[in-house]
Amino acid sequence: MRDLAEKIISGNRRSIAKAITLIESSRGDHQDDAQALLNELLPHTGNALRLGLTGIPGVGKSTFVESFGTMLTAKGIKIAVLAVDPSSQITGGSILGDKTRMEELARDPNAFIRPTPSKGTLGGTARYTREAMMVLEAAGYDVIIVETVGVGQSEVAVSNMVDMFLLLLSPGGGDELQGIKRGIMEIADLVIVNKADGDFENAAKIASSDVINALHLMKPKSENWSVDTLLTSALNKKGLDIVWQKIIEFKNAMQKSGEFDSKRSEQIVSGIWIELNEMLTDKLQKEHQQKIKSLEDDVVAKNITNRQAASKILNSIVR
């Protein structure tokens, strides 16, 4: 693991991919190796700017990421993209099409794209997104974008692992707010109305105005930052420079106020409890299958309630 860590720190792309595959593996020996690897990488993490990007399917997330990413690499900025795809509820796999939709960025030596299945994890992210970001930070990437599934209210979880949360909207959908849940609007640090070109340009301006009005009705997420709404055309590569300027303004404002570091500390602590929940569920399913099956049968037969069954499972662990 020490040799692998050294290759990652030197920026070896094959080693980066191997490390993320190891982290995502559910095998016990792989998980042990992954933790040993992360311990080696830990001193080299925390230096990248972490961005979350969400939006409903069809809003143009992949096109935006490719245009935005190629603009950044042209400036000499190294960028990594973790594109989380929805998983099949039947097979557990996913299309993983983001890499094929970002052909230009995928060929860029200063960019690294990693599609990964969500495997049913709520929050629009994969379970090991945090650890994958640590690997990419150790590899020297300056900006990491987590492009999420776009699942709705539960995607609030994304904001708990990134420095800045970007919400991508598109005009022309009838309801300009596109049914976006209030919870996502409240956690957005920057709203971007994409596809502001051609026949949609006027509609984009109307959508932007509606979003601004909606944001005025919400309590500000931070005292140190006012959420802006920007117009872009990822297809024509317009407005992307302004988006980057706003991101830098946000980072500077948060660092000056101390909120940047305090938020990261909160995320680290939150990550402990999220991982604990996952580990407890794994342990229960592996070591208490028979007891759980019996309780499930009792709930189905209406002998006990869901809460009683959950309480019995928890008590067996506590004892």
Which of 155, 101, 96, 152 is CA-nearest to residue 125? 155
Per residue in 192-247, pLDDT tens? Answer: 999 888 888 888 888 888 888 888 888 888 899 999 999 999 989 999 999 999 99
* Torsion angle of the four alpha carbons 228, 232, 237, 238, in this order, in degrees rounded to the nearest 10: -80
120 is written with which tokens? 């049913």
Residue 315 CB contacts under 8 Å (≥ 6 apart), including other chains: none
Q: Spell out, as residue ranges, where the chain has pLDDT lower than 50.
A: 87-97, 120-125, 153-154, 174-176, 178-179
Give the per-residue pLDDT at 185: 78
Give the per-residue pLDDT at 85: 60
Residue 106 CB contacts under 8 Å (≥ 6 apart), including other chains: 99, 113
Give the per-residue pLDDT at 139: 96
CATH topology assigned to domain 47-257: Rossmann fold (3.40.50)
Residues of the chain with CATH 3.40.50.300: 47-257
Q: Is 49 helix (H, G, I), strand (E, B) or coil?
A: strand
Q: Is 275 helix (H, G, I), strand (E, B) or coil?
A: helix
Residues of the chain with CATH 1.20.5.170: 1-44
Contact 143, 248 (CB under 8 A): no
Give the per-residue pLDDT at 76: 96
CATH number of 1-44: 1.20.5.170
Going by DSSP bridges, is the β-strand pair 143-147/164-169 parallel, antiparallel, or unpaired? unpaired
Give the per-residue pLDDT at 122: 44
Query: Which DSSP helix (H) or strand (E) runs through 6?
Result: helix 2-9
